[in-house]
Amino acid sequence: MERLEWCGRWLRAGLAAGQVRRRLPWLLLAIVLLGSALKDGDLVPETPMRNKRNPLNVYFVKVAWAWTFWLLLPFIAVTTYQFAESKFLYGPTKSILTVLQRLSALLVGTAIWYVCTGLFMYIENLTGMCSTSGKLGELRRLYATKQECHQDNGIWNGFDISGHCFLLSYCALMIVEEVAVLEGLSVDQNSKLRVVIDGLFVSLCFLTMIWVFMFLCTAVYFHDFSQKLLGVLTGLSAWYGTYRFWYLKPFSPGLPLPNIPLSSKKYSYSR
């Protein structure tokens, strides 16, 4: 428990300064630029991360939104309820309503994930062609989708916007925004609630590290530069459009620190 508390305190100290929230978007863009340059220059060494079947990709990245969703769900619920009771002195009913409002940010994130990944697949199918090793003189079949092509052991050549760059950047930025609630939340150090919050917080921080690391691996090993750039720009746009614009409005899931006035929110979240 002491190690968990120490780890949580150390990680909170970094986030409380606002440096992570301020610099992470620029870091992600820099990774795409530098990673693509290294890939194009064939300067990246062979490592197990080049294999798409590596454990981090199979068990984490492939289900990145599920990991992010199910860890943020209890974290947002617990911290928002505690915030509503301790800071606003809300009763149980109003506190629960506040929790539901904040949890709707996860529904927004799910919608963004679903729409964007579907759009990427549509663009790839629209722009692609299937290459198969058919027999000489055999009529070539026309394939409408990448899935049909792969069923016949073909290779689909389309414009494949990097879903990894989109989703990993969006998940990392969303987590960093949500854990900002700890800047204004005070919990008794000896309480069980503190242990729960610290456990969830440390887990989310390590998950963010995995997302950034796998984002780096994607940048140096996979996709063309334009595909990665469009992917990360989509992720950054989704983050900016929600946490920097829509969530500042009254009719929205709101920001994790609801006690800060609107003018101060803009300063705190963009400094």
Rg (CA), the chain: 21
Q: Is 90 exceeded by the pLDDT of residue 215?
A: yes
The residue segments making up the domain with residue 97 are 2-268
What is the spatial distance between Cα 65 and Cα 59, in angstroms, rounded to a whole number? 12
Q: pLDDT grade, residue 168 (50/70/90)?
A: very high
The tens digit of pLDDT for each residue in 71-106 reads 999 999 999 998 888 777 778 888 899 999 999 999
Of the candidates 209, 98, 103, 117, which has an alpha carbon nearest to the alpha carbon of residue 167?
117
More confident residue, 84 or 9: 84
Which of these is catalytic: 39, 146, 194, 223? Answer: 223
Q: Tell me the whole-structure pTM to 2 decimals.
A: 0.87
What is the spatial distance between Cα 125 and Cα 136, in angstroms, rounded to a whole number? 26
* Total of domains in the chain: 1
Check: CB of residue 235 under 8 Å from CB of residue 170: yes
Amino acid 151 reads Q
**Catalytic residue flag (residue 150):** no
Tokens of 248: 């500042």
What's the mean pLDDT in 156-182? 92
What is the spatial distance between Cα 235 and Cα 162, in angstroms, rounded to a whole number? 10
Which of these is catalytic: 21, 39, 146, 164? Answer: 164
**Catalytic residue flag (residue 164):** yes
Q: Is 70 exceeded by the pLDDT of residue 240?
A: yes
Amino acid 26 reads W
